[in-house]
Copies of this chain bind each other. A is one copy, B any other.
Amino acid sequence: MEKVNIVLVGFGRVGRAFFDLLKEKYDYCRERYGLLLELRGIVRKKGTILLSSTQRVLSPSYFATEDLHDLAEWIPAITLSDLLEEFGSGVLVDCTPTNLITGEPGLSVMKMALEKGWHVVTASKGALVLKPEELKNLAKEKKLLIKASGATAAALPTLDIGMYSLAGTEILAIEGILNGTTNYILTRMAEGLTYKKALEEAQEKGIAEPDPSLDVEGWDTAAKMVLIANQVLGTELKLSDVKVSGIQGISHEVIDKAGKLGKILKLFGKCYRQGPDSAWKVEVGLALLDYEHPLARVDGTNKGIIFYTDSMGWVAVTGGKSDPRGAAAALLKDVISIYWHNF
């Protein structure tokens, strides 16, 4: 049995889902992996911290009997830094919201964790696409891992395939449909809706945000592709290196034209290079796929990614639930794989 200290930062939809999942999976992880995943505290947006008032530890029995909102008092006086020092080492699970301009609060949170000797598992994209070098070097120096499945299409295993399943291959190119909102809009447009109608429908269903610009302008896809490239290919690309165009306001003519050509229109993230000595490039934009393309049938809010390799041909993966529970499951997976190696 190995005890793993966990500190959760951020308590929005994904943070709460992670909290619930950890509670649900505590026994399973102990039995299956021999890991005691001990949540030591939750740090919220406002800097306050949740601990068991009696033990300063959220024991699993505590989880089982208490309702989320009654758990304990949130204590403003205890900072993230205090908590990390108190428990010495473990894994910080970063569920702070993504900010693609400043990278905060994820950047500060992740740096603090690494500096204090904690691994990082994150669902937040900002810091990693703005300061890839800084975070990578810090993790390397401290011999710690930053795992970002939760930030790269979550339950769709993008990084796992690229890093683990394709270990030893040379990756020649990567293509992905990585944003559920835009894929939903394009799917519904192919079924006859206008862009405006399709977007409204997506918003009504809670698929698109009230301000959908990060999705429809392609920035969410771009951030995911940068993250994947940096982890899988060892690049140090930034979001500003990506040529991005989105789907905002596209007309029905474009969709109809694709249909007439016998093609399917998708918002595609691409990572490629001209030759083995050229620099890697990431691009996001509309692409016309043949019906035979392994990602052509990835419809609605589904996502998919394909890797082209030198020794395994192409490998494509699709699916993975696009909801907070799916994202939480991706975070939990990353926590497990830091500590358990007998796959």
**B297 near A332 (CB under 8 angstroms)?**
no
> Which residues of chain A in 286-343 are interfacial with respect to chain B, using CB atoms and an 8 Å cutoff?
292, 294, 296-297, 306, 309, 311-321, 325-326, 328-330, 332-333, 335-337, 340-343
Q: Which residues of B contact A197 (CB under 8 A)?
A: none
Q: Does A112 reach chain B (CB closer than 8 Å)?
A: no
Q: Which residues of B contact A329 (CB under 8 A)?
A: 168-169, 309, 311-312
Q: Which residues of B contact A341 (CB under 8 A)?
A: 341
> Which residues of chain A in 17-42 are interfacial with respect to chain B, using CB atoms and an 8 Å cutoff?
21, 25, 28-29, 33
Q: Does A157 reach chain B (CB closer than 8 Å)?
A: yes
Q: State A63–B29 Cα separation when bound (angstroms).
A: 44
A side interface size, CB within 8 A: 51
Q: Which residue of B lies closest to A170 (CB)?
A: B28
**A342 near B145 (CB under 8 angstroms)?**
yes
Q: A313-B321, A317-B315, A319-B316 are in contact. Are A29 and B168 (CB under 8 A)?
A: yes
**Stretch of A94-102, A158-166, A249-257, A264-272 on the interface side:** A158-166
Q: Which residues of B contact A159 (CB under 8 A)?
A: 343
Report 7 cross-chain contacts, Cβ distance below 8 Å, ordered by A residue.
A29-B168, A160-B164, A168-B335, A311-B328, A312-B326, A315-B320, A341-B341
